[in-house]
A and B are shown apart, each in its own frame.
Chain A
Amino acid sequence: MADIIEGISPTRMELLKLGRRIVLAEKGYKLLKEKRDALVSEFLDVVQRVHDSRARASEKLAMAFKDLLTAQAVMGSDAVWQVSQVTGQDIRIDIDTMNIMGVKVPMITPQDVKRSMIDRGYGFADTSTMVDDAARNFEEAIEDVIKLAEVQQSVENLANEVIKTKRRVNALEYIVIPRLTATATHIRMRLAEMERENFTRLKKIKAAIEAGKKAETA
């Protein structure tokens, strides 16, 4: 049996207060359990998205590096390096937050990462088409890597919240509610015992009074 709350007086008033606390604790427990379940669902979905994003990013990067190696083989490493020098680009990203049940997760949106061949800035005449393929695949890979960063961070934040909520649910389920219930049971038993004691005391008093009356009449 769970511990009872120390220093609580066994009165009907306390019993009523405890009843209200039990109702409140049970409501809180049910709601927190709902939150935990919802968080776990979200967490599993995001884990799946991490898995998919990682696979997609790896695939794109593998393709991009393959194209880059082919381009280097066709044009020579120096020529590819020179092309890379004229195609510098700052990657613009838009970072904001989304609030999932109190968990702030990042929302990262890359902007204009993919460019047309003209925007890349190098000449077509002296470059291989493999350079174009490599550039396109790298641009696509960057988008996937950014998406991966977003979901990876979301997983971490959600996992922390799942742990916190789980701890609260367990505290309510295994400590708070059993302790309140045990205390209420204890008070109920104590009150019943006091009632029995009172009943016996009254009987004894009555017997004593009657014995006194009999002695007076005799």
Chain B
Amino acid sequence: MDSDSRVLARMMRSLNDHLPGERKTLKELLGEDKPRVVCRDGSTHRIRKEELETIERIIGRRWGEEAERLRLPLLIEMVPDYGRSAARIRGRIYCEIVQTILHEEKKKAIDEMIIFRPDVRRLRRALPSATQYAFMTSTS
């Protein structure tokens, strides 16, 4: 690989440096006085308690024990393959949270959903610290 390509590859890798090295469960975060996760670049990302409580309210009763295994921050995956500014949410429990926040009709449980720019903005406005963007190169 030549130097240009190396620079480009490094730049692409660094796009996701802000993601947490390890996500914490909702239960763990709610138990912390100052809920935060450590990012891959070594910085910390604080999550607001109010947002955690909002998520707990959304899923708490319906999901029971599974809610305790929910890992945060919720990832908004930006995948260029789906078109410009389209984002993917993966995981049944995460989809339910997003659907509730966006006031979407929940016909059945889904494992994956695609949302577009206006919805991404609404989601980010509702949960600015409990969600994070992840940049993916392909759908696989």
Whether B124 pairs with A41 at a CB distance below 8 angstroms is yes
Whether A99 pairs with B78 at a CB distance below 8 angstroms is no
Question: Complex formed: what's the CA distance from A20 to B4 in Å?
Answer: 12
Checking A21, A31, A168 against B2 with a beta-carbon cut-off of 8 angstroms, the contacting residue is A21
Whether B4 pairs with A21 at a CB distance below 8 angstroms is yes
Residue of B nearest to A41 (CB): B121
- Tell yes or no: B18 within 8 A of A by CB: yes
Within 8 A of B (CB), among A20-55: 20-21, 24-25, 27-28, 30-35, 37-38, 41-42, 45
Question: Complex formed: what's the CA distance from A32 to B15 in Å?
Answer: 8
List residues of chain A with CB under 8 Å of any chain B CB: 17, 20-21, 24-25, 27-28, 30-35, 37-38, 41-42, 45, 94, 96-102, 104, 107, 168, 176
Q: List 24 A-B contacts (CB under 8 A).
A: A20-B5, A21-B4, A21-B8, A27-B80, A28-B8, A28-B11, A31-B12, A31-B135, A34-B85, A38-B133, A41-B121, A45-B125, A94-B34, A96-B36, A96-B44, A97-B44, A98-B45, A98-B46, A99-B45, A99-B132, A100-B128, A101-B15, A101-B18, A102-B41
Query: 16 new A-B pairs (CB below 8 Å) besides A31-B135, A34-B135?
Result: A17-B2, A21-B2, A31-B15, A31-B78, A34-B78, A34-B84, A34-B85, A37-B84, A38-B78, A38-B133, A94-B34, A99-B45, A99-B132, A100-B132, A101-B133, A176-B4
